[in-house]
Amino acid sequence: MILIGAKIKELRNSCRFTQKELAELVGVTKSTIAAYENDSRTPSFEVLIKLATVFHVTTDTILLNRSSSILEVDGLTTEQIQVVKTIVDSFYKSNLVENAFENNSLSTLETMLNFKRIADEQEPLIEKSMLELSSNITQLMKMKKKK
């Protein structure tokens, strides 16, 4: 049996659902959710998919106890998706730098320099996207005022 109860409970708590609320969302009883969380029962594939959908994660996140999240990019342009990737990558690299400092890593300076170089390279793209976003918001506000 795969032990996934702790992950289900962690995801439920992070979404601030009660067991009853989660049960209603996936179509099972509160006691069934409790059984999943206590690893005395394993969800069916159908329920597993519903859980993943409710939590906005992949089934792998639940089954393999990964901390992987999916970011929805539907409706974004290719350039906007690239900006999102760049921002996420920047946060990732920032966390690497922070961890290097905490662990007194010898490569801390090299990591920081690489992070700075990447940030400098991506700055024009981010700036352009922010200007486009600002322009789009301005246009939407004008359209709203006309109505």
Is 2 in a helix, a strand, or coil?
Answer: coil
Mean pLDDT of the chain: 78
Q: How far is CA 117 from CA 24, 85, 93, 112, 147, in A?
A: 49, 16, 11, 9, 46
Measured distance CA(130)–CA(141) in Å, rounded? 16
pLDDT of residue 140: 80
Query: Of 43, 74, 71, 72, nearest to 59 (Cα)?
Result: 43
pLDDT in tens, 68-90: 555 677 787 888 777 877 777 77
End-to-end CA distance of the chain: 59
pLDDT of residue 70: 59
pLDDT of residue 121: 75
The answer to whether residue 62 scores a pLDDT higher than 80 is yes
Cα 11 to chain centroid, rounded: 12
10 Å CB burial of residue 126 (0-12, 13-18, 19+) is: middle
